[in-house]
Copies of this chain bind each other. A is one copy, B any other.
Amino acid sequence: MTDDALPALVGPVEVVGAGLIGASVALVCRRLGLDVVLRDTSVEHLRTAHGLGAGRAATPDDRPQLVVVAVPPAAVAEAVVDALHRTDAVVTDVGSVKAAPLASVAARVGPGELARYVGSHPMAGSERSGPLAASAALFDGRPWAVTPHAAADPDAVGLVESLVLECGAAPIRMSPEEHDRAVARISHLPHLAAVLVAGRLAAAPAEHLALSGQGVRDVTRVAASDPGLWQQILEANASAVLDLLAEVRTDLDALMTAVAAPSAESGPVTGTGPDLVEILARGNAGTAAIPGKHGGPARPTRSVFVAVPDHPGELARLFGDAGEIGVNIEDVHIDHDPARPVGLTELVVDRGSADRLLAALESRGWTTHR
């Protein structure tokens, strides 16, 4: 099916759950000029979303073309069933896990109803919550999994893909089971690894933590997310997550053996497991496997480091200079230095542009290094 053949999203669109994701979808639809109906069990969320212009209250005569269920993971199946019973609309949800809610829905609706349900999952917004954080720009350029079951109506699938495209996201079609295995690997496992590392920091002496660099901050950042939400996600995807955790446990045992083993210099290696360099190199391969910006292969980049005084306007001046020099900044990291009011800012640029940027920044008086 080509994009041209996708059914047009004409509304009305009903959004169930006016949190970050739901209200953001509603804002996109309002921007398209569509009639948007909002439902939420929280009067406060509903009032806030109305106030943002995200849509109107439901009435008994509403006949939505599409219902978007955007409620917490544990409440998805019931809200989808309710929407299928209440309306003739295509129904999608935006939950983080797909197979378990589908099974629950399939057990409680007829085949005609089930054909109208197509699950989906935008890869956006996990660390913030509530309608106040909503934005029509939230999905810009993000992957958005669309996960039809075998008996889904092709037109229903097309309508959900239309929504994804209207949201500025990139639809990626896969089965619910495939999706759950994918997010277990690229979202749930990294999350749990961050939790385990952060868990070992909680009771550490302050002077140990004083040595913290950017590495530990990056590794643990996502562990700051809402435990209640993540409990629901992990319980709904327990099987795929446990499979991966079991693999990691095996890898951890091999790692412990490799760290404990005498290195080749000290004597012959008697075990049959991978050696430490082999395990570390596998990590290299894994980071290289993550797709680059804009979905293409990762482009070779280089980092340019610049010392930037920590007060308003200095970063502006740096980016102003970089802009005038005409080099595109692919990524930025600012080191949280623990002792002095000077930040080391890392500019990630195309490898071919790094020398030119360095020379030009130095000629403008910046202290830089590679």
The interface of chain A, by Cβ under 8 A from chain B, is 24, 123-124, 126, 128, 132-138, 140-143, 145, 168-170, 172, 174, 178-179, 181-183, 185-187, 189-202, 204-213, 215-225, 227-228, 230-231, 234-235, 238, 241-242, 244-249, 251-253, 255-256, 259-260, 263, 276-277, 279-295, 303, 305, 307, 310-324, 326-344, 367-370
Query: Are A334 and B330 interface neighbours, CB within 8 A?
Result: yes
Cα distance, A13 to B318, chains bound together (Å): 34
Secondary structure call for the A interface: helix
Query: Are B307 and A315 interface neighbours, CB within 8 A?
Result: no
Scoring A172, A210, A246 by chain B CB atoms within 10 A of each residue's CB, the highest score goes to: A210
Q: Give every chain B residue within 8 A of A228 (Cβ-Cβ).
A: 277
Query: Are B145 and A289 interface neighbours, CB within 8 A?
Result: no
Query: Are A186 and B204 interface neighbours, CB within 8 A?
Result: yes
Instruction: Give min CB distance, A360 to chain B, whole Å.
Output: 12
Query: Are A215 and B191 interface neighbours, CB within 8 A?
Result: yes
Query: Are B235 and A213 interface neighbours, CB within 8 A?
Result: no
Q: Give every chain B residue within 8 A of A276 (Cβ-Cβ).
A: 227, 230-231, 234-235
In chain B, what residue has the closest Cβ to A311? B328
Instruction: Give min CB distance, A196 to chain B, whole Å.
Output: 5
Query: Are A293 and B190 interface neighbours, CB within 8 A?
Result: no
Query: Are A204 and B313 interface neighbours, CB within 8 A?
Result: no
Instruction: Give min CB distance, A263 to chain B, whole Å.
Output: 6
Q: Give every chain B residue within 8 A of A222 (Cβ-Cβ).
A: 215, 218-219
Query: Are A279 and B195 interface neighbours, CB within 8 A?
Result: yes
Query: Are B190 and A141 interface neighbours, CB within 8 A?
Result: no
Instruction: Give min CB distance, A1 to chain B, whole Å.
Output: 17
